[in-house]
Structure 1
Amino acid sequence: MKGNNSRRSHITIFKSLDELLSLQKTLYKLSNKISREELKKEFRGLYSKIGSPSKPVELMVSLLPLKQPYNLGDETVVSAWVHNPCWQYFSGFRPFQWKFPIERTDLVHFRK
């Protein structure tokens, strides 16, 4: 017996996070009020123009408020971020990410 092979169920995994997340989620609402361009302008002067490319400022800045309410360490926030679409959306990512785009040690360097 074959199951229902509806294409609809296969397509939803390729949708953007803003199409999948609930509009009622606090982080979703807050993320839509943050100006990514303002963040980039504010932190631009702190980034070096030489050396390897910098990590996305909106990601680095977003991880700090995600850590604090739950009293999480760097390694824990990295692990949780990969599994939490709301956190990814809050960090400026729209397609779901299956792996973390930075190393946990990058958070230490960013805070300095």
Structure 2
Amino acid sequence: MNVQVITREGEPEYAVLPWAEFQALLKAAGMPSKSPMAEPAAPQPPVAALSQMRSLREGLGLSIEQLARTVGISPSYLELIETAERQPDAAIRRALARALSVSGWSDPS
């Protein structure tokens, strides 16, 4: 058997072996074989689109000035984002999502 042992602080932590040998071990143990593909991820809740930012902000009762101050950008830049005249970078999208309590923003289509 061709096994690679990975240690941490001198103690064995993981054993890595070729897939065929892993399958043989499962078979010998009477367990079903595993697919090499990962299980599909659980469906994620829909992410609010950046175009919904104004309605999200208004739904929270925030003025454009309040949200801009929270995120650290000017109200005029925030207005450009809300009207889709500007696309914010990833850091600003994350800050906006955090301030509006959404999981994140989808990339523009």
TM-score if structure 2 supplies the norm length? Answer: 0.24
Instruction: Say which one has the larger Rg.
Output: 2
Q: As a proportion of its length, which structure holds more strand? A: 2
